Amino acid sequence: MFEELLRDWDGEQAVIRYDRESGAWMFVCIHSTALGPAGGGTRMRVYPRPGDGLADAMRLSHAMTQKMAAADVGRGGGKAVLAVPELPQGEARHGLLHRYGELVASLGGTYRTAGDMNISPADLDVVAERCEWVYGTTGRGGDSGRGTARGVLHGIRASVEHVFGSADLAGRTVLVQGVGAVGDDLARALAEDGAHVFVADVDERRAAATGFEVVAAGDALATECDVFAPCAVGGVLSADSIPQLRCRVVAGSANNQLAESDDALRLHERGILYAPDYVVNAGGVIQLIGLEDLGWDEAALERGLAGIGDTLRGLYRDADAAAITPAEAAERLVERRLASGRRDSSGRRTT
Ligand code: NAI
């Protein structure tokens, strides 16, 4: 399985290490360094087979290349997966994170990590004891969820403006699917803007704790609203689910929202404006790079996050002008940026 995955992948480099002490497989996938060192989070998960973890890292690293290029932050795309037999705790977790830090350090900054599923800022503190290429530790950029939520808010404002002629969210109905780190912050920010917020979560207690009107998780897709904000899992937009939607805009933080690329066209044909996921959910990387590398204060960060709205406005204009979907316009933007940043083997830009 590894051979096939590696042969068919269009990324630059996959680094694989088997960690005998824990039985974990470490996969670091560097998809592209055309625009700078590869950045992307580390995910810890139990997979049916190690190869599923490698496939996940490959797929996610490609999405990071798109996200970094669209956000124009001078970074390439990468992703790491720790495919563990079970989620380790205590000393075993500490040891695994140290050995993982040594692996990332050995790459000399070509890959720079942050958190993802099951990797918290406190875990990153442990990785950072062995490696300098770590973002989102407790003392520095912190949890990227807040920047992601704020970026999605700007994306929703821009999308609502495109559809309804005004970015004002007062009185608009928004359904937030998944009220974890991102969805919870987003729901509150939307309410502060005057939106009427519904929430849905498979964890019903978590949904109830938000204090917003709760919709059963199974009814989320078919609930009538102006904006559907998927902030839970990927693959929610598919040939099956799109006909059920009763919204005008889809804009949320979840990665890989489209089950397949044709779903962008399905949404378009239903008159639903889709904010491409990797554009609208880039607030976390903007937060970490802005605060940790660029020395931004909170005001500069807010300006950086507002740039997500500006990028979407540009994409919607381009899409309308070329009679294509916003997803296609985003892909063209990424291609343009990658082409202009490509370097030859001596590191010089080739264009
Ligand atoms: P989280 O794990 O804190 O929250 C996810 C929430 O979704 C949980 O409350 C969970 O119970 C709920 N959920 C899971 N499956 C569901 C379903 N089928 N229907 C309804 N609710 C469901 O995750 P977080 O950090 O809030 O991220 C949310 C999404 O945004 C994820 O897809 C993540 O990959 C993506 N994302 C997060 C970023 C970040 O900075 N945290 C950055 C970019 C993307």
- Residue whose Cα lies nearest atom 10 of ligand 1: it is 178
The predicted model gives 139-155 an average pLDDT of 92
Going by pLDDT thresholds of 50, 70 and 90, the confidence category of residue 24 is very high
- What does the pLDDT read at residue 347? 46
Q: Is residue 148 in contact with ligand 1, taking CB distance under 6 Å?
A: yes
- What does the pLDDT read at residue 349? 52
Q: Is residue 232 in contact with ligand 1, taking CB distance under 6 Å?
A: yes
Q: Which residues fall within 8 angstroms of residue 337, CB to CB, at 6 or more apart?
A: 35, 69, 70, 72
- Residue whose Cα lies nearest atom 30 of ligand 1: it is 254
Q: Is residue 77 in contact with ligand 1, taking CB distance under 6 Å?
A: no
The predicted model gives 69-76 an average pLDDT of 95
The pTM is what?
Answer: 0.94
Mutating to test ligand 1, I would choose from 202, 204, 250, 287 the residue with most ligand atoms within 8 A of its C-beta, which is 202
The predicted model gives 232-247 an average pLDDT of 96
**Ligand 1 atom nearest to 183, measured from its CA:** 26
Q: Are 155 and 280 in contact (CB under 8 A)?
A: yes
The answer to whether residue 351 scores a pLDDT higher than 50 is no
Rounded Cα distance, 43 and 282, in Å: 17
Tell me, yes or no, if 79 is annotated catalytic.
yes
Rounded Cα distance, 213 and 200, in Å: 9
Q: Which residues fall within 8 angstroms of residue 169, CB to CB, at 6 or more apart?
A: 156, 157, 160, 190, 193, 194, 195
- What does the pLDDT read at residue 327? 98
pLDDT in tens, 243-272: 999 999 999 999 999 999 999 999 999 999
Q: Is residue 179 in contact with ligand 1, taking CB distance under 6 Å?
A: yes
Q: Which of 133-142, 265-274, 286-295, 325-334 has the lowest mean pLDDT?
A: 133-142
77 token code pair: 């795309």
Rounded Cα distance, 223 and 220, in Å: 5
Q: Mean pLDDT over all residues of the chain?
A: 95
